[in-house]
Amino acid sequence: MAREISPGSPVEDLATPAVLIDVAVLDRNIAAMGAAARAAGVRLRPHAKTHKLPEVGRRQLAAGASGLTLAKTSEAEVFADAGFDDLFLAYPVVGLGKPERLLALAGRVRIAVGVDSLDGARALAAPFAAAGRAVDVLLKIDTGSRRVGVRPEDAPALAVALAEVPGLAFRGLFTHAGHTYGAETAEAVRVAGEGEGAALARTAAQIRARGVDVAEVSVGSTPSARHAMRVEGVTECRPGNYVYHDATQVSLGTCGLEDCAMTVVATVVSVPERGRAVVDAGSKTLSTDPLRPHPGGHGFVLGRKSRLSRLSEEHGVIDVVEGESFRVGERVRILPNHACVVSNLHDEVIAVKDGRVAEVWRVAARGMVQ
């Protein structure tokens, strides 16, 4: 490509669109969640799907994280290759070749895997049993997100069954309070987070009462993390988005605009009429993920009241509010709705310090969906 990015060059010299990571904000977010986990007395195992970057994962470990969380097997392979040696796949890994790949991974790093069915767990365990090994598993509990995971009341019987599967080592429980992204108020987020932790701790006690050890009781989600991690009996927390935050976290009240580390710099390419401006960042740059908890366009234009109202692949249409205006060639900064999917759209992001390029980070685990 014709583009060159030199460390030290000002952000104003970057071609657009480009994804910027403010390193000072990033480090502050990482330190704050590390401190919150220490204060709560729980291990912190951040979900690296948000950044997909070894550079950020290393910062998380340096700030006290005990390891990283990932979803897909190929993501874990990338992070293992980058030197990370303690990984949890918070995902019911099922599928051709995956158990064998996890067995290979387990030969070089500490790995644990999510399960939520006996069928899935047996398929996962088979190559481990054949090799005379056992894979650490955590049972996924559905505490309200209605995605994967068993209901708390169904967990004890399944845990007892899992503990007897050859090739499995039952290690504990985990959940993800995805439903907090629909919470209308800070109070609702708190209630959901405390409920998430309490449901998991209660279920762990019921399983222990049936004679099965539960070493790990692991909660997740950035909005709920600070509430769920303080519940008695919780041992681990796995937030992901907090490293960057985004327009959804601001809308949920999880953070302020000043806590958002990822922005997209874009150029106004067209102002076809009063009330409409178009930037060179569309769904292939920002994704069409909606704002939550309520739809509200496709990204905030920082310093303006106007928002991106619709995206096509390479166009972002700004509804220009009364009193604001944009001109062709002007550069704007966009706060995306959802940082985690933006990371997955770009080969590289630009680490920025004091308005200048500090480093270019290749998004090593981008596209690792298998």
For a copy of itself, the binding residues in 126-145 under the rule CB under 8 A are 142
CB of 329 to a copy of itself, least distance (A): 6
Instruction: Give the CA angle between residues 196, 257, 231 to the nearest 5°.
Output: 20
Residue 168 Cβ, how far from a copy of itself at the closest point, in Å?
A: 15
**C-beta of 34 vs 336, nearer to a copy of itself:** 336
Stretch near a copy of itself under the rule CB under 8 A, chosen from 12-20, 127-135, 184-192, 251-259: 12-20
- String marking each residue 23-62 x if it binds a copy of itself according to CB under 8 A: --------------------------x-------------
Q: How far apart are CA 318 and CA 84, in angstroms?
A: 41
- Tell me the CA distances in angstroms from 256 to 37, 250, 252, 292, one per residue in order: 20, 6, 10, 15
Q: How far is the CB of 338 from a copy of itself (least distance, A)?
A: 9
Q: Which stretch binds a copy of itself (CB under 8 A): 125-133, 209-217, 242-250, 273-281?
A: 273-281
CB nearer to a copy of itself: pick between 263 and 287: 287
Of residues 67-126, those binding a copy of itself (CB under 8 A): 71-72, 74, 77, 91-98, 101, 104, 116-117, 119-120, 123
Question: Which span (55-63, 206-214, 271-279, 318-326) binds a copy of itself, by CB under 8 A?
Answer: 271-279
Element (H, E) at 88: strand 86-92
Please count the residues of this chain forming the interface with a copy of itself, following the rule CB under 8 A: 73
**What is the secondary structure of 202-258 as a DSSP string?**
HHHHHHHHTT----EEEEE-TTTHHHHTTSTT--EEE--GGGT--HHHHHHTSS-GG
Determine how β-strand 316-319 pairs with β-strand 356-362. unpaired
Q: Where are the beta strands (DSSP E) in 230-368?
A: 236-238, 262-273, 276-279, 300-301, 307-311, 316-319, 331-335, 348-353, 356-362
Residue of 221, 159, 168, 169 whose CA lies nearest to 196: 221
What residue type is 264 in one-letter code?
Answer: V
* Distance of alpha carbon 81 from alpha carbon 109, whole angstroms: 10
Residues 286-345 that bind a copy of itself (CB under 8 A): 287-290, 312-315, 317, 327-329, 331, 340-341, 344-345
- Closer residue to a copy of itself in complex, CB, 72/227: 72
Closer residue to a copy of itself in complex, CB, 178/297: 178
Q: Is 13 in the site for a copy of itself (CB under 8 A)?
A: yes
Site for a copy of itself in 169-228 (CB under 8 A): 178
C-beta closer to a copy of itself: residue 38 or 146: 146
Which H or E run contains 44?
Answer: strand 43-44
Whole-number Å distance between alpha carbons of 74 and 164: 28
